[in-house]
Amino acid sequence: SKPVTIGPDTDIGDAARLLVTHRIRRLPVVEDNKLIGLLSVADLIHAIAQMKIKEEIKDSYMSTTFALWEDTPLPLVGRVMEISGVDAIPILNSDSVLQGIISERDLIRNSSIEDSVGVSDFSNGTDDDEWTWESIRDNHTISFGISRVQLPNRPVKLAMVKNVVAVPKNSEVSECALKMRRSRVDQLPVINGDKRLVAMLYDRDLIKVLCKDDAE
C-alpha cells in the first residue's frame, strides 16, 4: 500500500541504496503523483557496465553459496530452491567441477500440469440421528478439479543450462556487469583456475558499488 518510490532526478547511488536496504528489485519512478517509469536492478547493472569500475569482485561482492550434484532429481531441486530462497543453483559433477546452473525459469520450462478430481462431502446428519430431517440427511458432495504443477523425476543435468557464464574471483566489477547484461542473467558463478565453484556473484550485491561515496 505504500511502495518505495523515487523521482526522476534521484541520484543513482541513492536509488541503489533503496534497492539494497529494502531488498527489492524495482523502484517506481513517480513525478507529480504519477508513474512515469520503473528503475530495476538490471538497469543499474547496465549503468555499472558503462562506468569502467576496475575494482575486483573478490574484495566485497562475492557471496557464499551451495551447489547440487548433477544427478539430483528435479523434484528435490525444486524443493531445495523453495526452502533456501534462492532462484538459481550451480550444478557440479562427481569431481566437484561446475557443469551448469539451474534457475526457476528452467524448472518452469520443464514442469507440467497434472489434473485430477477432488470430492468434498457436505452431508448433514446420519441415519442414527433421530432429530435430522429426512430432506437433509441425504449425501451432498461436490466434485472439483485440481491442477498441480509437477516436476518430472529426472536428473537436473537434463534440465540445467550447460553453457554457464562464469567469472574468476579477480574479475572487475564493470566487466562482470557487462557479462550479466549481455547474457541476460542476474547471477554469475565464481570459479578458480580448475573450474571449481568458489562463490556466487549476484546482481543485487554488485549494485552495492553504487552505494559507495566514491562510486562516481
100 Cα distance to chain centroid: 16
Place of cell 534497492: 19
Residue 203 pLDDT exceeds 90: yes
Whole-number pLDDT of residue 145: 65
Whether 134 and 125 have beta carbons less than 8 Å apart is answered as no
Instruction: Give 89-113 pLDDT, tens digit per residue.
Output: 999 999 989 999 999 889 988 887 7
Here the cell at position 165 is 557464464
Here the cell at position 27 is 523502484
Residue 87 pLDDT exceeds 80: yes
How far apart CA 45 and CA 37 sit, in angstroms, is: 17
Place of cell 543453483: 89
The pTM of the full predicted model, rounded to 2 decimals, is 0.75
Instruction: Give 28-58 pLDDT, tens digit per residue.
Output: 999 999 999 999 999 999 999 999 999 999 8
Cα separation values, 100 from 28, 71, 73, 97, Å: 34, 12, 15, 9
Instruction: Give 128-175 pLDDT, tens digit per residue.
Output: 555 555 555 555 667 666 666 788 899 999 999 999 999 999 999 999
Whether 137 and 126 have beta carbons less than 8 Å apart is answered as yes
Place of cell 552495492: 208
